[in-house]
Structure 1
Amino acid sequence: MQLRHLNTFAAVADTLNFTRAAERVHLSQSSVTEQIQTLEADLGIRLFDRSRRRLSLTPAGQRLLGYATELLKLADEAHSAVAEASDTISGSLVIGGLETLCATRLPELIAEFHRRYSAVELTLKTADSGGLRSGIRSGDLDVGFFFGEAPAATDVQSVSVAEEQLLIILPPDHRLAGRKEVGPEDLADDAFLVTQPGCVYRKMFDEAFAGTPPERPKPVGEFASIGSIRGLVEAGLGCALVPRSALAVHPGHLVAIPWSGRSRTTPVTMMWRRRRVHAPAIAAFLATARECLGGQTRR
């Protein structure tokens, strides 16, 4: 068994799709198929059931997956331990973040990290909070940044590195435009623009109005991005609850008022995979992020 074959096997086992697995391991679909067939030939047993419409692991494949996961983890830790002996921190890192954070907080952090460790190749990707968590677990991302608390898990670690003030954004002619702050009771009868359930911004809204009746305030629609919500608020369609960074790039012609509800801020959380030994580049990035972002509250 070769580690590269086990890595490909783990990707197919996780996605149960040869096309998506090929994208994850950066190979053609034919190469993925060939590697799985080679691994099955080496072991003398089928690892996947291809007879049904949906690909599935055989009992042998399920048993191998546990060993493959441990072997790949050990290989990764061995590589990191050896790299620690080098005087130069190098390699590559893939950083992920919510689009709002990628446009506001992360550029300064990444620029500072590059000044300190120019031999490390950096990639920055945007994703929603669910995509960031799954990317960390699969190894597609090394570090991820999002708003809100991280769910408890044994395979990842997380820390709150900053706080973000929550704001209510209103159309310019809104009746509350002159207020210094607003709370749930002030907006119970207002129309609100929200993202889809499962999105971190929707969770902020649901938690902010958890003490009000289910029908108050009433969302008038679900929208795909904070950018579109910001534009619709500006056009007068309704109000929205957003972190301050959402207004940093294109503030627009709207009114932003601090939220006076029970939680006035939301944490900026950094997440990474749990390892016994971190690659030097990851360890350096985590330390730099804590230093550059640590304790910041944007108001």
Structure 2
Amino acid sequence: MELQQMRYVVAVAETNSFTRAAQRCLVVQSALSQQIARLERELGARLFERTSRRVRLTPAGAAFLPAARECLHAAERAAAEVAAAVGEVRGRLAVGSISTVAAVDIPAALREFHQRHPDVRVSLRVSPSEELTERVVHGAVDVAFLGLPTTTRPEGVHARELARDTHVAIVAPDHPLAGEPAVDLRRLAGETFVDLPAATAGRMQSDQAFAAAGLDRDVAFEVTNAALLARMVRQGLGVAMLPSAYVPQLTGVVTIEVTDAPARVEYVAWSRSGPTPAAAAFLALLGIPGSAQAS
């Protein structure tokens, strides 16, 4: 079993295509297919179901995939640790972030990191907090910026609290509430809402606040990022609540204080096994020692 074979399996699983996987791996498709077939013979099980229209993992493939990713991450980390031992920072830095992070200017931080460590391959993924936490646990993300309700803490990772914030309401400029200096949840409960998907940490912050107040609300529109949420509000399709530190980035909406608003905590998180050399350098750039224990 070879690392290259594992790379091919991961590429096919992520692209659902042998053709696209071969393009990603910079190899001809026949060579990729032959290596995967060779691995399947060695394992004694098919990893993919192939039809003329699609490729998908078999149960055996689904069982093999997490271990293959872990092996690849371990190999990458081993090479990075060797480079670090001779004073070089190399390898990869996979950063994950929620769309409403406000405690850190991530683009500016990544630019400075790239200037300091040009040999590190940097990537960024924007996803909900719970998905990012899982990715940190499994090694797919090195450093993640999370936003959680005050009743929840990151699990399975090391984490450091960055900031606490309360929500404000945002409405269209011509909304009847636009001239109000402040509102409460009871007054907002009668409005149509635009919010993040149900069961995500970003949505839970508001859901818990309304439930604690004994109020129901109508979430007619569920979107996956704050920029689209603000565009929906701007068009008068509903109102929304977002962290107060984030909303100054938005244009074309009016901000209203919410007297009994929900709150959230922003965290930065990394692996319990310790940061990779690149992740440690990034945390140091942010003023966060990589050896810190989970909060």
Whether TM exceeds 0.5 here: the answer is yes
Gap change, CA 1:86 and 1:261, over 3 Å in 2: farther
Q: What do you get for the CA RMSD once the two structures are aligned?
A: 4.1
Q: 1:139 to 1:19 in 2, by over 3 A?
A: farther
Matched, 1:261 2:260: yes
- 2-structure distance, mates of 1:7, 1:79: 16
Q: 1:25 to 1:203 in 2, by over 3 A?
A: farther
The answer (yes or no) to whether the contact 2:99–2:226 under 8 Å persists in 1 is no
Report the secondary structure of 2:268's partner residue: strand
Q: Specify the alignment match of 2:94 in structure 1.
A: 94
Could you tell me which residue of structure 2 aligns to residue 295 of structure 1? none
For each residue in 1:111-133, what CA deviation from the matched residue of structure 2 results, as whole angstroms up to 9, or x when unmatched? 33345434434333434446545
Distance in 1 separating the partners of 2:16 and 2:179: 55
Deviation at 1:105, TM superposition (A): 2.4
Q: Which residue of 1 aligns with 2:58?
A: 56
- For the pair 1:160 / 2:170, whether they are aligned, the reply is no
**Matched AA of 1:6:** M
When residues 178 and 20 of structure 1 are mapped into structure 2, their CA distance, relative to the original with a 3 A threshold, is farther
2:129–2:146 Cα contact (<8 Å) kept = yes
**The residue matched to 1:111 in structure 2 has which SS?**
helix
- Contact residue 168 and residue 257 of structure 2 kept, 8 A: yes
The verdict on how the C-alpha distance between 1:21 and 1:232 changes in structure 2, with shifts beyond 3 A counting, is closer
Change in Cα spacing, 1:163 to 1:180, as seen in structure 2 (3 Å) is same
Conserved in 2, the CA contact under 8 Å of 1:18 and 1:32?
no
Superposition deviation, residue 266 in structure 1: 1.6
Amino acid at match of 2:266: V
* CA distance in structure 2 between the aligned counterparts of 1:16 and 1:118, rounded to whole angstroms: 28
Distance in 2 between residues matched to 1:211 and 1:46, nearest whole Å: 51
Alignment check: 8 A CA contact 1:188 1:212 kept: no
Cα 1:32–1:242 change in 2 (3 A) is farther
Match of 1:285 among 273, 282, 286: 282
Amino acid across the alignment from 1:189: G
Matches of 1:125 and 1:73, distance apart in 2: 17
Deviation at 1:110, TM superposition (A): 2.0
- The residue correspondences of 1:1-299 to structure 2 (distance < 5 A) are 1-9=1-9, 17=16, 19=18, 22=21, 26=25, 30-41=30-41, 43=42, 45-48=44-47, 50=49, 55-58=57-60, 62=63, 71-72=71-72, 74-101=74-101, 105-129=105-129, 132-133=132-133, 135-136=135-136, 139-148=139-148, 153-154=155-156, 156-174=157-175, 176-177=177-178, 179-213=180-214, 216-252=216-252, 254-261=253-260, 263=262, 265-275=263-273, 278-291=275-288
Work out the CA distance in 2 between the residues paired with 1:26 and 1:141: 20
Structure 1 residue 281, shift from structure 2 partner? 1.2
Q: CA deviation at 1:242?
A: 0.9
Deviations 1:68-112 (A, max 9, x none): 56655653443343222122323332323234449x721232233
For 1:5 and 1:116, the matched residues in 2 are separated by 33
Residues 166 and 261 in structure 2, CA contact (< 8 A), matched pair in contact too: no
The SS at the match of 1:40 is helix
- Residues 30-86 of structure 1: per-residue CA shift (max 9 Å, x gap): 554322222234x37235374899642449x95x77875665565344334322212
Tell me the amino acid that sits aligned with residue 276 of structure 2: A
Structure 1 letter corresponding to 2:202:
Y
TM-score, scaled relative to structure 2: 0.72
Q: Is the 8 A contact 2:80 2:89 kept in 1?
A: no
Gaps of at least 5 residues in structure 1 are 293-299
- Name the amino acid aligned to 1:94: A
Structure 1 letter corresponding to 2:6: L
- How far the C-alpha of 1:192 sits from its partner, in A, is 1.9
Count of aligned pairs: 283
Report the CA distance shift for 1:250/1:170 in structure 2 as closer, same or farther (over 3 A).
Answer: closer
Gaps of 5+ in 2: 290-295
Does the CA-based 8 Å contact 1:91-1:120 persist in structure 2? yes
Q: Report if aligned partners of 2:15, 2:21 keep a CA contact under 8 Å in 1.
A: no
CA distance in 2: counterparts of 1:143 and 1:56, whole angstroms: 31
